[in-house]
Amino acid sequence: MTKNSNLHSFLAFLVVLIVTLASSPLSAETGGALGDWKIDTFRWTGTTDAVKLVEVHNPHGNLRFRKAEYSQAFASAAIQRHKDDPRLGDIRVVEQDGKVTIDVVFDTPEDFDPAVLTDEMAKRRIDLTVLIPAGAHLNARTEDGEIEAKGLDGDVSATSTAGDIVLSIRGSLEARTDRGAVKAVLKSADWRKSPVIETTTGEIVVWLHADADTTIQAQTAGWITTDYSIDITSPSTATTKTAVAKIGHGKHPFPIHSTKGNIRLSRLQSLPAE
């Protein structure tokens, strides 16, 4: 590896480490004495230049994504566990045929005795930050953790069971969460495919590019507010309302659904800083 490559790798590591530690609850949520907890860090630098897809699964904490300044992917994690917990955190990375797969796990020893577990140990977590190369698409999944992606060029698919999803991207999106909220800034109108947003109880807020060419069908039992002209139907026998907004020529269908949460559709007046 050249001197410039080493410098690029080090600078990328600093970026992901700062973002990871800034978003990690650390001792705030762990409780107990700080000396009872171990906080380890993980660093990984990709070797593939032509990355087309990054898939990340983290059932143990938050996911943060930023655009990489270089052609490789980079990752950093903060791994928190009780000092007496025998289960060790691990981040497994596979690069193959333009695809990067990252799985976050806690390994269980063969002689593991569940009787040693305590309520404190259940607060273990791993928060991961990944830098995504320009143009690469992202598929991210977590359980209770938040997913945040900013500045990405490619399409983003984000799925969380109970965490919030916060996106500011130039590609299209698929965002699904059961009990979290979704906030999405779509900074481009040039979508490769139609976007989708679904929640069960969470609020949905979407900012659309001024040149958006889409037909939005928003459905919820909550409030629907918008900067656009909409047609609302609300059957007398149902609590769910459906609002249709045709923006531009209405090229891309855009279903937005929340069972109970409020929906807000806003026109993006200027591009926010990342």
Of 176, 136, 141, 139, nearest to 156 (Cα)? Answer: 139
Backbone angles phi, psi at 112, to 5 degrees: -65, 130
Local structure of 58: helix, strand or coil: strand
Residues 1 and 121 in one domain: yes
Do residues 168 and 241 both lie within one domain?
A: yes
Whether residue 74 contacts residue 95, with contact meaning beta carbons closer than 8 Å, is answered with no
Is 255 part of a structural domain of the chain? Answer: yes
**Co-location of 193 and 260 in the same domain:** yes
Asked if residue 64 is part of any domain, the answer here is: no
Alpha carbon 57 to its chain centroid, in Å, reads 10
* Co-location of 211 and 158 in the same domain: yes
Residues 126 and 1 reside in one and the same domain: yes
Q: What is the pLDDT of residue 109?
A: 87
Q: Tell me whether residue 124 is in a domain.
A: yes
Residues 109, 232, single domain; the answer is: no
Q: Please indicate, yes or no, whether residues 94 and 173 belong to a single structural domain of this protein.
A: no
Shared domain check, 164 and 106: no
CA neighbor of 216 nearest in space, from 189, 185, 194: 194
Among residues 13, 156, 155, the alpha carbon closest in space to that of 74 is found at 13
Q: Which domain holds residue 195?
A: 146-274
Q: What is the CA radius of gyration of the chain?
A: 21
Q: Per this entry, what is the length of the chain?
A: 274
The predicted structure's pLDDT at residue 72: 92
Same structural domain, 161 and 119: no
Output the pLDDT for position 181: 97
Query: What tens-digit pLDDT sequence spans the chain (274 residues)?
Result: 444 554 455 455 555 555 555 555 554 444 445 678 999 999 999 998 889 999 999 999 999 999 998 899 999 999 999 999 999 999 999 999 999 999 999 998 888 888 888 899 989 999 999 999 999 999 999 998 999 999 999 999 999 999 999 999 999 999 999 999 999 999 999 899 999 999 999 999 999 999 999 999 999 999 999 999 999 887 766 688 999 999 999 999 999 999 999 999 999 976 555 6
What's the pTM value of the predicted model, to 2 decimals?
0.86
* 101 within some domain: yes
Q: Are residues 113 and 86 in the same domain?
A: yes
In the chain, how many domains are there? 2
